């Protein structure tokens, strides 16, 4: 900031008159308006606004950060699951890299290379216990995937044991950890690991380092051994020097030796490797494709591979398509079979019933709020307690009370039968349907309508209605033309509250809704807690959120959000 | 800075102190959080397992979390957040399989961690086929079966004793309560639509079979109240709201024996299911040691038989059966008189078909 006292004009202090004249002169000259300290007024204003804003931001910062961390971030994370699909490419990296080369329209299962990739992926996934998780994920899209992955995981050894056994028969050394570690690992790493093992130290093991020579000579075996060694170190906390590697490594070594020329190799365990190299040509082999098909014939089906191909990308529209009763097919998105569509119906029903509940709340709450705001304060307070009383009662208790009231052997039916209005054998069905949900939810949400209405109505001066009447208006005209328009902001606020609360309601429809009175939120809850299809739940939730925002926007356009008051 | 230093010192002291304390007790944590279903079932566990265990280990405190119904979802969320606060979770077999599939439950070697039977039989043989997953330690066998109001049986008609009476609205008019999910209901529907018991799941695996089951359910759809909580059917029966309804046999036992309601058990085509423990994956060492110690005690032959004193669920060990009190035997789902016609829940089938058939079922319900 420049020091204002250095400016002679500022020291003198312009009189308002002078300043105005100077301003006029400046404007005429096109020069910017200056603040008292000589900086352009615009800049100075912007700076002070900025400081003000920063101060305001600092004041709200604790709440803002709290809301961001505990509310927005988890919701964002949950909604993100509606498109997230990395699990497929993370669990089956080799297969998903190749899968686009397969042509689904060929009508045949993929070739041997694809099955080789699948075998490697599944073997590693099985060691990490991730294959069944992927099976559950894919089972949402195609029935049978869950047991396909579980069964396959159990039987992968059928293939790898063929090689494992032959290597072991050839030389016992292949059955031990040490020779493998010397063959594959950097000598420095072996020394580090030995030191670590000897010290029986806790903590992280020196990370396995593979020899570059091996990566070139035996690429598959070196890569799989590296995966094995890292896994042994971090997951099992076993020293690779002592652990016999997976059968997968033996399998990889077999295929490497069939191709590689190891005659020039002179590193550690050269004799062992050369002995194996000489023998592998005579080894009995299994074809990966035949082996996988023997484990489960579903690996030969085009549907299995089509599903894998369709859900191999990292992000998927599958959950959103499911949420609108569609599904991915080879020819693009298509509607589901008529007997599997449900979400469209539930969305429509949720909106319709929320509107009905909102309107019945308005109809019931308006007279109550009017009465409350026009009674003497003491009586009004007493009545207010009656309005608030349900608020202090548990939601579950209130819902269950409605069950007792409405069921066929319930209070209302008993009274009606006693009065002779309905016959004993044709009692009214008032629960486990839409009617029950609407009644119970209207009752539960009623205070949210009465309170904003009351607080708006109590600010409407009674003199306006008296003035209207004294000018000759009838009671109805005075109410409709003078009182009612002033109470609209209360109706608006109450409606938004009730509508938005009811659109996400869950417990009451679950208990009294039966089959025709349940909401979309009941399905969301089912997918969160029972089917564990969180992606679909997130997609349904996202759609619900968007619908609410669109309705809010429409409300703003039609009624105007400024026209909503919670009081005063 | 100074504050954080103090904090660090305190933490170090506390941790050190706790570690020293734990070392004195063979490195076992001195508290456990068990997860169960609440109600009579949880209190039977409290009386049969926890109280005797605490008598032997007075330092151990046990807290209960009644979250078994949402155990899979909650455990998954805890695992993602990296903070599993549960030590031992009671779940039904289907959930145990899912938890095992998801890597959320620890795989156990039953013979190594569980006590052998008194006659020396290995635990895995004693539990037999009930070990449906490598992660699962079964406790009890329960069944889902029908109860009916004895005072609502029409005059001159025999009380219902056949599963197909549920579908016979002419002989047995009145409302029924069925669970709001396809499992069990579609099997019963097919059984009463002429499908042989051994073919039920083969038929259900086909589109036509699923449609056939829903068509059969359609014949009683207007008379059905669909329940989602185990307490619903007992309440509906007690209020006379329904004539018959399916629920867990232990719930019916308490309606009949404890509340004295005019309710009878049907038992026919009851569906056996299991309830048991799983240990969450990746527990810290001291907590795991405590849990293993507790589980070994709580699932031995005597403890499982003791539990049957408090609730009418059959012990999962073969060796516990002879130790069940005489007066409870007649209420056990496994009692020969009750188990003349039973049905075993096919876990593998439902793991595969659950999502598919549920979508159809819900869509059918909503129409």
Cα A151–A246–A129 angle (5° rounding)?
45
What chain B residue is nearest to A340 in terms of C-alpha separation? B360
Task: Choose among B324, B177, B156: nearest CA to B252.
Answer: B177
Give the β-pairing of B137-149 and B314-315. Answer: antiparallel
**From the CA atom positions of chain B, what is the Rg in Å?**
23
User: Looking at the partner chain, which of B73, B353, B360 has a beta carbon nearest the beta carbon of A340?
Assistant: B360
Chain B contacts of A433, Cβ < 8 Å? none
Q: Quick: pLDDT tens for A189-226.
A: 999 988 888 887 777 888 999 999 899 999 999 999 99
Give the β-pairing of B31-35 and A332-335. Answer: unpaired
Chain A contacts of B76, Cβ < 8 Å? 532
- At residue A456, the 3 state secondary structure works out as helix
Q: Quick: pLDDT tens for A49-71.
A: 999 999 999 999 999 999 999 99
pLDDT of residue B7: 42
Task: Judge whether B40 and B311 are in contact, CB under 8 Å.
Answer: yes
Task: Judge whether A439 and A430 are in contact, CB under 8 Å.
Answer: yes
User: Looking at the partner chain, which of A133, A409, A515 has a beta carbon nearest the beta carbon of B366?
Assistant: A515
Taking the C-alpha atoms of residue A237 and residue B43, their distance in angstroms, rounded to an integer, is 40
Taking the C-alpha atoms of residue B46 and residue B40, their distance in angstroms, rounded to an integer, is 10
User: Looking at the partner chain, which of A136, A144, A515 has a beta carbon nearest the beta carbon of B101?
Assistant: A136
Taking the C-alpha atoms of residue A133 and residue A153, their distance in angstroms, rounded to an integer, is 11
The stretch A441-455 carries a mean pLDDT of: 93
Chain B contacts of A341, Cβ < 8 Å? 363
Q: Residue-wise over B315-346: b if at least 16 C-beta within 10 A, else e? A: bbbebbbebbeeebbebbbbbeebbeebbebb
Separation in Å, CA A74 to CA A44, A68, A399, A516, B178:
40, 9, 30, 32, 36
Task: Choose among B84, B62, B129: nearest CA to B290.
Answer: B62
Residue B49 per-residue DSSP state: I
Instruction: List, as own/partner pairs, every contact residues B48-55 make where C-beta atoms lie below 8 angstroms and the sequence separation is at least 24, other chains included.
Output: B48/B298, B48/B303, B48/B304, B48/B306, B48/B307, B48/B309, B48/B310, B49/B294, B49/B297, B49/B298, B49/B303, B49/B307, B50/B298, B52/B297, B52/B303, B52/B306, B53/B294, B53/B297, B53/B298
Interchain pair B366, A143: CB under 8 A: no
Task: Judge whether A534 and A453 are in contact, CB under 8 Å.
Answer: no
- At residue A376, the 3 state secondary structure works out as coil
Task: Choose among A361, A378, A548, A376: nearest CA to A452.
Answer: A361
State the nearest Cα–Cα gap between A121 and chain B, in angstroms.
Answer: 17
For tokens 């706790």, the residue is: B18
Specify the DSSP element, H or E, that contains B144.
strand B137-149
Residue B268: count other Cβ atoms within 10 Å of its Cβ: 21
Taking the C-alpha atoms of residue A254 and residue A420, their distance in angstroms, rounded to an integer, is 89
Q: Quick: pLDDT tens for A143-164.
A: 999 989 988 998 999 999 999 9
Domains of chain B: 26-141+274-329 (3.40.190.10), 143-273+338-366 (3.40.190.10)
pLDDT of residue B18: 43
pLDDT of residue B189: 96
Percent of chain B scoring above 90 in pLDDT: 77
Handedness of CA B188, B191, B197, B202 (dihedral sign): negative
Residue B32 per-residue DSSP state: E
Chain A contacts of B180, Cβ < 8 Å? 515
In this prediction the pTM is: 0.86
pLDDT of residue A25: 54
Using pLDDT thresholds of 50, 70 and 90, give the confidence band for residue A16. low
User: Looking at the partner chain, which of B69, B352, B360 has a beta carbon nearest the beta carbon of A144?
Assistant: B352
Cα A56–A60–A65 angle (5° rounding)?
135
Task: Judge whether B112 and B247 are in contact, CB under 8 Å.
Answer: no
Q: What six digits make up the tokens of A72?
A: 């927005």
Q: Is B121 exposed, middle or buried (0-12, 13-18, 19+ CB in 10 A)?
A: middle
Q: Residue-wise over A185-210: b if at least 16 C-beta within 10 A, else e? A: beeebbebbeebeeeeeeeebeebbb
Q: Quick: pLDDT tens for B15-69.
A: 444 444 444 456 899 999 999 998 889 999 999 999 999 999 999 999 999 999 8
Separation in Å, CA A96 to CA A300, A306, A308:
17, 12, 8
Q: What six digits make up the tokens of A532?
A: 């564990």
For tokens 């516990």, the residue is: B320
Using pLDDT thresholds of 50, 70 and 90, give the confidence band for residue A7. very low
User: Looking at the partner chain, which of B102, B226, B364 has a beta carbon nearest the beta carbon of A514?
Assistant: B226
Chain A contacts of B364, Cβ < 8 Å? 339
Stretch(es) of chain A classified as CATH 1.10.3720.10:
343-563
Tell me what the pLDDT averaged over chain B comes to: 89
Residues of A with CB under 8 A from a CB of B: 129-130, 132-133, 135-136, 139-140, 143-147, 150, 339-342, 345-346, 407-410, 432, 510, 514-516, 518, 523, 528-533
pLDDT of residue A419: 94
Using pLDDT thresholds of 50, 70 and 90, give the confidence band for residue A4. very low
Chain A contacts of B228, Cβ < 8 Å? 510
Options 2.60.120.260, 1.10.3720.10, 3.40.50.720, 3.40.50.970; CATH of A343-563: 1.10.3720.10
Specify the DSSP element, H or E, that contains A490.
helix A484-503
Using pLDDT thresholds of 50, 70 and 90, give the confidence band for residue A560. confident
Using pLDDT thresholds of 50, 70 and 90, give the confidence band for residue A129. confident
Q: Quick: pLDDT tens for A217-267.
A: 999 999 999 999 999 988 888 889 888 999 999 999 999 999 888 888 888
Percent of chain A scoring above 70 in pLDDT: 94
Q: Quick: pLDDT tens for B98-140.
A: 899 888 999 999 999 999 999 999 999 999 999 999 999 999 9
Q: Quick: pLDDT tens for A73-116.
A: 989 998 999 999 999 999 999 999 999 999 888 888 899 999 99
Beta-bridged to residue A210, according to DSSP, are: A185
Q: Which residues contact B240 (CB under 8 A, 6 or more apart)?
A: A409, B149, B152
Q: Is B159 left (phi over 0), alpha (psi -120 to 50) or beta?
A: beta
ipTM of the complex: 0.86
- At residue A84, the 3 state secondary structure works out as strand
Task: Judge whether B184 and B145 are in contact, CB under 8 Å.
Answer: no
Chain centroid, CA A40 distance in Å: 50
The stretch B332-339 carries a mean pLDDT of: 89
Taking the C-alpha atoms of residue A25 and residue A23, their distance in angstroms, rounded to an integer, is 5
Q: Quick: pLDDT tens for A399-440.
A: 989 999 999 999 999 999 999 999 988 899 999 999 999 999
Interchain pair B351, A129: CB under 8 A: no
- At residue B261, the 3 state secondary structure works out as coil
Residue A485: count other Cβ atoms within 10 Å of its Cβ: 10
Residues of B with CB under 8 A from a CB of A: 69-70, 72-73, 76, 98, 100-103, 175, 180, 211, 225-226, 228, 239-241, 348, 351-356, 358-360, 362-366
User: Looking at the partner chain, which of A516, A528, A531 has a beta carbon nearest the beta carbon of B358?
Assistant: A531
Tell me what the pLDDT averaged over chain A comes to: 89
State the nearest Cα–Cα gap between A429 and chain B, in angstroms.
Answer: 11
- At residue A433, the 3 state secondary structure works out as coil
Taking the C-alpha atoms of residue B193 and residue B186, their distance in angstroms, rounded to an integer, is 10
pLDDT of residue A21: 57
């Amino acid at each position: 900031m420049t020091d204002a006292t250095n400016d002679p004009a500022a020291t003198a202090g312009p009189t308002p008159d002078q300043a105005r004249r100077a301003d006029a002169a400046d404007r005429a000259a096109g020069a910017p308006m200056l603040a008292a300290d000589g900086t352009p007024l615009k800049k100075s204003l912007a700076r002070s606004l900025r400081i003000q804003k920063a101060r305001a931001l600092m004041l709200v910062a604790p709440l803002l950060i709290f809301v961001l961390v505990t509310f927005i971030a988890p919701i964002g994370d949950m909604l993100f699951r509606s498109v997230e699909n990395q699990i497929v490419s993370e669990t089956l990296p080799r297969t998903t890299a190749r899968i686009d080369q397969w042509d689904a329209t060929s009508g045949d299962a993929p070739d041997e290379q694809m099955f080789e990739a699948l075998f490697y992926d599944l073997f590693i996934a099985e060691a990490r216990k991730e294959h069944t998780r992927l099976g559950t994920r894919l089972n949402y899209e195609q029935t049978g995937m869950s047991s396909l992955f579980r069964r396959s995981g159990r039987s992968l050894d059928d293939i790898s044991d063929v090689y494992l056994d032959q290597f072991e028969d050839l030389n016992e050394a292949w059955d031990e950890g040490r020779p493998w570690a010397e063959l594959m690992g950097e000598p420095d790493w072996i020394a580090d690991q030995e030191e670590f093992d000897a010290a029986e130290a806790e903590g992280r093991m020196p990370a396995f380092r593979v020899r570059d020579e091996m990566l070139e000579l035996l690429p598959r075996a070196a890569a799989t051994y590296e995966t094995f060694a890292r896994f042994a170190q971090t997951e099992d906390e076993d020293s690779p020097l002592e652990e016999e590697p997976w059968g997968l490594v033996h399998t990889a070594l077999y295929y490497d030796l069939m191709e590689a020329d190891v005659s020039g190799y002179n590193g550690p365990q050269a004799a062992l490797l050369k002995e194996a190299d000489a023998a592998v040509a005579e080894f009995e082999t299994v074809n990966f494709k035949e082996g996988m098909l023997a484990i489960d014939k579903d690996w030969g089906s085009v549907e299995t591979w089509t599903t894998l191909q369709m859900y191999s990308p990292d992000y998927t529209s599958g959950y959103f398509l499911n949420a609108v009763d569609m599904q991915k097919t080879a020819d693009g998105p298509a509607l589901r079979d008529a007997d599997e569509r449900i979400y469209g119906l539930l969305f429509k029903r949720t909106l319709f019933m929320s509107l009905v509940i909102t309107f019945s709340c308005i109809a019931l709450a308006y007279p109550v709020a009017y009465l409350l705001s026009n009674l003497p304060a003491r009586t009004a307070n007493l009545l207010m307690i009656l309005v608030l009383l349900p608020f202090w009662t548990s939601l579950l208790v209130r819902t269950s009370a409605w069950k007792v009231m409405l069921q066929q052997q319930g209070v209302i039916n008993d009274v009606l039968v006693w009065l002779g209005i309905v016959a004993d054998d044709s009692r009214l069905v008032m629960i486990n349907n839409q009617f029950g949900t609407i009644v119970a939810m209207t009752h539960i949400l009623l205070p949210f309508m009465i309170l904003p209405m009351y607080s708006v109505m109590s600010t409407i001066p009674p003199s306006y209605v008296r003035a209207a009447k004294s000018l000759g208006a009838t009671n109805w005209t005075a109410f409709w033309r003078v009182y009612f328009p002033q109470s609209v902001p209360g109706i608006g606020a109450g409606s938004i509250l009730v509508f938005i609360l009811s659109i996400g309601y869950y417990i009451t429809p679950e208990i009294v809704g039966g089959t025709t009175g349940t909401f979309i939120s009941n399905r969301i809850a089912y997918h969160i807690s029972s089917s564990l299809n969180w992606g679909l739940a997130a997609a349904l939730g996202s759609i619900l959120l968007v619908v609410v925002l669109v309705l809010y926007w429409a409300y703003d356009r039609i009624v105007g959000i400024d026209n909503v008051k919670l009081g005063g | 800075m100074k504050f954080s230093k103090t904090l660090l010192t305190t933490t170090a002291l506390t941790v050190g102190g706790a570690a020293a304390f734990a070392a004195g007790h063979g490195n076992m944590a001195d508290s456990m959080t068990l997860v169960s279903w609440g109600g009579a079932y949880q209190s039977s566990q409290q009386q049969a397992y926890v109280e005797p265990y605490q008598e032997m280990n007075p330092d151990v405190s046990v807290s209960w979390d009644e979250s078994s119904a949402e155990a899979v979802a909650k455990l998954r969320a805890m695992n993602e957040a990296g903070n599993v606060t549960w030590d031992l979770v009671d779940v039904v077999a289907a959930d145990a399989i899912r938890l095992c599939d998801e890597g959320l439950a620890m795989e156990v070697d039953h013979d190594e961690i569980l006590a052998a039977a008194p006659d020396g039989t290995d635990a895995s043989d004693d539990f037999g086929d009930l070990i449906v997953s490598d992660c699962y330690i079964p406790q009890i066998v329960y069944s889902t079966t029908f109860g009916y109001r004895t005072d609502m049986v029409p005059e001159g008609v025999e009380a219902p004793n056949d599963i197909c009476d549920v579908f016979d609205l002419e002989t047995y008019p009145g409302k029924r309560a069925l669970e709001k999910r396809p499992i069990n209901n579609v099997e019963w529907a097919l059984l009463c639509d002429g499908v042989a018991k051994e073919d039920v799941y083969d038929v259900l695996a086909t589109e036509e079979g699923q449609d056939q089951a829903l068509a059969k359910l359609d014949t009683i759809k207007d008379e059905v109240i669909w329940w989602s909580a185990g307490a619903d059917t007992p309440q509906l029966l007690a209020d006379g709201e329904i004539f018959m309804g399916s629920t867990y046999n232990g719930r019916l036992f308490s309606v009949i024996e404890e509340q004295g309601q005019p309710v009878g058990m049907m038992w026919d085509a009851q569906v056996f299911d299991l309830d048991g423990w799983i240990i969450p994956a990746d527990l810290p060492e001291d907590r795991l040691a405590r849990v293993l110690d507790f589980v070994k005690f709580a699932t031995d032959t005597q403890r499982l038989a003791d539990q049957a004193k408090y609730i009418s669920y059959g012990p999962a060990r073969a060796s516990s059966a002879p130790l069940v009190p005489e007066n409870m035997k007649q209420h056990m789902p496994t009692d020969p008189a009750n188990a003349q016609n039973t049905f075993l829940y096919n876990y593998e089938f439902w793991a595969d078909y659950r999502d598919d058939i549920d979508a159809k079922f819900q869509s059918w319900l909503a129409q």
